A and B are shown apart, each in its own frame.
Chain A
Amino acid sequence: MQKLFTKLKDLLGKENFLTDPASLAGYSFMPDYGEPSGQPTPLAIARPGNLAALAETMKLCSGADLPLRIRGGGTWPGMAPARSSVVILTTGLSRILEIDPDNRSAIVQGGVSCRRLNDEAASAGLFLPPVKRAPSLRTIGGAIAENAPGPYSLKYGNPGSYVRKMEICTSEGKRLEFFAQNNSPGNLKSGLPLASLFAGSLGLLGVIARAEVSLVPAQGPSFGLVAGFANPAAAVYASSAIIAKGITPAAMEMLDQHAAALSGWSETLAKDMLFLEFDGSSAKGDMERARSILAANGAETINALREDSGEIDALWNQITGILPAIRGKMGPFFLETANCPPASAPAFMEHMQNITAKAGIQCCFLGSPGIARFLMLLFSTDKKTVEDISREIFTLELTLNNLLQSEEDLDLTRSQCREKDHGHKEISGKLRDIFDPKGLLAH
């Protein structure tokens, strides 16, 4: 092992290959809203500064059968390091290689900060919508690997849908290049869109070392509405009514009054709230139409916001800080995510409320009703009650979706989902064997 570590230190430089106790502990955590739990510390932290060094590092570690854990900015509760693993930090791969205004595209290394890319693309009048307002620590590689829906997914989709091409580094150090199938100009290729496999792969198939992504012309200043409702289900009903009338806001976020109050909204403003943001040439007209729809669908208060006066930024800052703010005030909670087909969102919301009310525990709801993705914050010290709620809501999700959400759903608490597997696990296992035959990247 010592020999390997000396080799890696020579390869990466001593400041990019860390084995001191503080660095090992410092890269062992992920954001966590639950009870703090001891994480196993890795063996070493490797931060390659270029793609060749990344491939060589992966190859050397793989040769010694060391488990590998890929880490970008560490902004999402994802893959925590395993015991005896080597953490591969992608933040050293931080070069923006090209921003091409003519092709509306950017070529970036996987560790580039999403915010930095959008800042630089802004000078060419472009942006990458799914990661607009992403924290500066979040990396492009991480955003694609998570493919998590963000605030702007309603209108613009998830990060994975913007990938044109991708260079992957497998656990054995092989560098592979794949293209994706999407509607970007000049990207209408035929063949298997293998790059799409990596969007949402959670780093289980390899490291996203480089990506070519589509950019979108800047949409000008946006306009916003904040509407207050008597209960969260009413807010979700109103959001469905807006979409049913053919209006697609850039973003749509809902939070209930408990979440609003706990995260610092003043008593008078803390209602069950729906926030809508409109951008593009029709933003102002869409906002006015949405205002009438909200008023006709039970909104008790409606306030308009403008981006150019900083009001929308301020509101987003508050929204993105909700979970940490509640964690700081209330201590640990269980965070449950749930989604359903958008048309079922209002009924789904009511079901969720009934389930938690029946269990009699304190709970907050927030989420993006436009894409029917909700977060539930469950405040209880009784793990069994929380697991029961989680199972009940998951069963409801399966009934409505009849499909698995992701790899995460294969965990033990949700074992009933195996019946609804539809071959997912088998194929996903075979793909993993192809890209990661030793299983070094597995959870």
Chain B
Amino acid sequence: MPHLALFAESIAHCSLCGQCDEACPVLELTGSETDGPRGRLFLLRQWLQGQIAGEDISRSMERCLLCGKCGPACPASLPLPEMFLAGRLDLQIPHPLGKDLAFLIIGMPAFLLTFLQYPTAKMMEFLREFPSLKNRLPPLNLSAKRLSPPRPGTKPGVLLFAGCLARRVFPEVGSACIKLLEASGHDVKMPEALSCCAMPHLHNGLATQSLLIIRRNLRILAKTDFGSLISPCPECLETIKKVWPFFPGLQEDERRVAREIAAKARDVHTFLAENLQPVTSNEICFWHRPCHMEAEAAKAAKHLCGADEWPASHMGNCCGAPFGYRTIPSKDLPQRQDYGVLRLGKEIATDAASEILASGARTVLTSCPHCMARLQNTFKGMGFSVSVRHTLQWLAQRYENKE
């Protein structure tokens, strides 16, 4: 159990008080002890002690959202989300379609994107040079950013780790991030070959593939000179800060780089708040706090958007987005391997969406592209027209209007 072994002491130090359970969206829905962090930790402890078989606890591990809400709720500050991630990796939970097929579906596209991205981006840049093609090409506007050395007299360079969704599904979020960083006087760098933070692979227990992706990112980042690493995705940021430096299998020099990068990783809103003034607007939106966003970061985002008085979900309801990493329809799966996560994810998302609808708000601001995708799909499925936007999009638009 290479991943879990890192947390053996913390697992033994838990008193099973249950305060973490109060923050768990899955437990709130099912009421089952093994669906909550306390029960899950106890099962990991039993597994470490050889008192229960790994296959018997996989259901409990798989039904964890890895949303991270239990971590801050622990009075002993035990790294609960990291323990559950480690448990999932060590269990190597078989994907419903089998590990090989899962790798083909989930892992291979990421590999292809990772390895082919650079030449693709270069080719796109080349093609854009032709006036007739310029406007016909897909909006790979993020890939158009190129590395530039820091200009003398400007602030230290910022490295943008856009993450998969802000690059391909919501490129407008990545563009807004760049606009705001530049407006606050920073050089923005975005190495073309950087892509996935490896979280989708981690969610599926694909340890080997995760390690390869983390290593590749570290190699690229080690060659890049930057002052701070910024991401519009709190989940990417958390993975970089909390998973990369401790991931088993890294060489010592890779781990050193991972630690250095983690120390430079900063939330985009707290970073922007140092240079930008909050916007004033009469518009009232609903504020959905992403689970992976730290309290200080959420405070900064709300402050910048002038959202302190906006309606917000109680304690920040999870939207169930992480269960969306399981993209295979449940009807195609044998019941034993489904573990009901797709249904659970849907119910959690419906609860979050219903709370928003009940507030009367028809625009939702959040700071995570995963939450955006999940909430947009949920509202659509429920038949409601609600605009879900990233705080950076909202801010960029207001600063643009102001100018």
CB within 8 Å of B: which residues of A? 20-23, 25-27, 29-33, 36, 38, 73-75, 91-92, 94, 135-137, 263-264, 320-325, 327-329, 331
Question: Number of residues in B with C-beta < 8 Å to the partner?
Answer: 33
A33 to B76, CA, bound (A): 12
A244 to B39, CA, bound (A): 46
Q: Are B33 and A26 closer than 8 Å at their CB atoms? A: yes
Selected A-B contacts with CB under 8 Å, 8 pairs: A22-B52, A27-B39, A92-B31, A324-B15, A324-B74, A327-B13, A327-B14, A328-B10
Partner of B46, one of A25, A91, A264, A327: A25
Question: Could you tell me the distance in whole angstroms from the C-beta of A162 to the nearest C-beta in chain B?
Answer: 23
- Which of B16-24, B198-206, B257-265, B282-290 lies at the interface? B16-24
Q: Are A27 and B33 closer than 8 Å at their CB atoms? A: yes
A38 to B51, CA, bound (A): 9
B111 CB–A CB distance under 8 Å: no
User: Which residues between 64 and 119 of chain B lie within 8 Å of chain A, taking CB atoms?
Assistant: 74-78
Q: Which residue of B lies closest to A23 (CB)?
A: B34
Q: Are A321 and B18 closer than 8 Å at their CB atoms? A: no
A25 to B31, CA, bound (A): 16
Q: Are A327 and B43 closer than 8 Å at their CB atoms? A: no
Question: Could you tell me the distance in whole angstroms from the C-beta of B151 to the nearest C-beta in chain A?
Answer: 43
A22 to B17, CA, bound (A): 19
Chain B residues within 8 Å of A36, by CB: 12, 45
Contact bitstring B43-57, A, C-beta under 8 A = 1, else 0: 101100101110011
Q: Are A328 and B56 closer than 8 Å at their CB atoms? A: no
Q: Are B19 and A328 closer than 8 Å at their CB atoms? A: no
A163 to B176, CA, bound (A): 59
Question: Could you tell me the distance in whole angstroms from the C-beta of B265 to the nearest C-beta in chain A?
Answer: 25
Chain A residues within 8 Å of B75, by CB: 263, 320-322, 324-325, 328
Q: Are B18 and A22 closer than 8 Å at their CB atoms? A: no
Contact A137-B22, Cβ < 8 Å, known A31-B15, A323-B15:
yes
Partner of B18, one of A21, A27, A137: A137
Contacts A137-B18, A321-B75 given; 9 further ones with Cβ under 8 A? A21-B53, A22-B52, A32-B15, A32-B16, A325-B75, A325-B77, A327-B15, A327-B76, A331-B12
Q: Are A328 and B15 closer than 8 Å at their CB atoms? A: yes
Q: Which residue of B lies closest to A33 (CB)?
A: B15
CB within 8 Å of A: which residues of B? 10, 12-19, 21-22, 31-34, 39, 42-43, 45-46, 49, 51-53, 56-57, 59-60, 74-78
Task: Tell me what chain B mostly uses at the interface: helix, strand, loop, or mixed.
Answer: loop
A321 to B17, CA, bound (A): 9
Question: Could you tell me the distance in whole angstroms from the C-beta of A45 to the nearest C-beta in chain B?
Answer: 9
Q: How many A-B residue pairs have CB under 8 A?
A: 96
6 tightest Cβ-Cβ pairs between the two chains A and B: A328-B76, A321-B75, A26-B34, A327-B15, A324-B17, A21-B56
Task: Tell me what chain A mostly uses at the interface: helix, strand, loop, or mixed.
Answer: loop
Q: Are A328 and B14 closer than 8 Å at their CB atoms? A: yes
Chain B residues within 8 Å of A137, by CB: 18, 21-22
Question: Could you tell me the distance in whole angstroms from the C-beta of A362 to the nearest C-beta in chain B?
Answer: 17
Partner of A135, one of B15, B19, B59, B76: B19
Q: Which of A26, A38, A328: most chain B CB closer than 10 A? A: A26
Q: Are A324 and B19 closer than 8 Å at their CB atoms? A: yes
Q: Which residue of B lies closest to A263 (CB)?
A: B75
Q: Are A26 and B60 closer than 8 Å at their CB atoms? A: yes
Q: Are B76 and A25 closer than 8 Å at their CB atoms? A: no
Chain A residues within 8 Å of B56, by CB: 20-22
Chain B residues within 8 Å of A20, by CB: 56, 59
Q: Are A25 and B43 closer than 8 Å at their CB atoms? A: yes
Q: Are A26 and B43 closer than 8 Å at their CB atoms? A: yes
A33 to B75, CA, bound (A): 13
Contact A73-B77, Cβ < 8 Å, known A22-B43, A22-B59, A38-B51:
no
A273 to B308, CA, bound (A): 35
A329 to B22, CA, bound (A): 21
Question: Could you tell me the distance in whole angstroms from the C-beta of B72 to the nearest C-beta in chain A?
Answer: 11
Chain A residues within 8 Å of B18, by CB: 31, 73-75, 135, 137
Partner of A323, one of B17, B33, B43, B46: B17
Q: Which residue of A lies closest to B53 (CB)?
A: A21
Chain A residues within 8 Å of B74, by CB: 324, 328
Question: Could you tell me the distance in whole angstroms from the C-beta of B7 to the nearest C-beta in chain A?
Answer: 12
A73 to B17, CA, bound (A): 11
Q: Are A26 and B42 closer than 8 Å at their CB atoms? A: yes
A193 to B56, CA, bound (A): 47
A92 to B10, CA, bound (A): 32
Q: Are B13 and A331 closer than 8 Å at their CB atoms? A: yes
Chain B residues within 8 Å of A75, by CB: 17-18
A22 to B382, CA, bound (A): 35
Chain B residues within 8 Å of A263, by CB: 75
A29 to B34, CA, bound (A): 11
Chain A residues within 8 Å of B53, by CB: 21
Q: Which residue of A lies closest to B59 (CB)?
A: A22
Chain B residues within 8 Å of A135, by CB: 18-19, 22
Chain A residues within 8 Å of B10, by CB: 328
Question: Could you tell me the distance in whole angstroms from the C-beta of A387 to the nearest C-beta in chain B?
Answer: 21
Question: Could you tell me the distance in whole angstroms from the C-beta of B124 to the nearest C-beta in chain A?
Answer: 49
A264 to B181, CA, bound (A): 37
A29 to B21, CA, bound (A): 14
A331 to B56, CA, bound (A): 28
Chain B residues within 8 Å of A33, by CB: 15
A38 to B76, CA, bound (A): 22
Chain A residues within 8 Å of B52, by CB: 21-22, 25
Question: Could you tell me the distance in whole angstroms from the C-beta of B203 to the nearest C-beta in chain A?
Answer: 20
Chain B residues within 8 Å of A32, by CB: 15-16
A40 to B340, CA, bound (A): 29
Q: Are A25 and B13 closer than 8 Å at their CB atoms? A: no
A25 to B13, CA, bound (A): 18
Q: Are A31 and B16 closer than 8 Å at their CB atoms? A: yes
A57 to B33, CA, bound (A): 20
Q: Are B78 and A22 closer than 8 Å at their CB atoms? A: no
Chain B residues within 8 Å of A264, by CB: 77
Contact A324-B76, Cβ < 8 Å, known A22-B52, A25-B46:
yes
A136 to B78, CA, bound (A): 20
Q: Are B42 and A328 closer than 8 Å at their CB atoms? A: no
Q: Which residue of A lies closest to B21 (CB)?
A: A137
Q: Which residue of B lies closest to A328 (CB)?
A: B76
Chain A residues within 8 Å of B34, by CB: 22-23, 26
Q: Are B60 and A30 closer than 8 Å at their CB atoms? A: no
Q: Which residue of B lies closest to A20 (CB)?
A: B56
Chain B residues within 8 Å of A73, by CB: 18
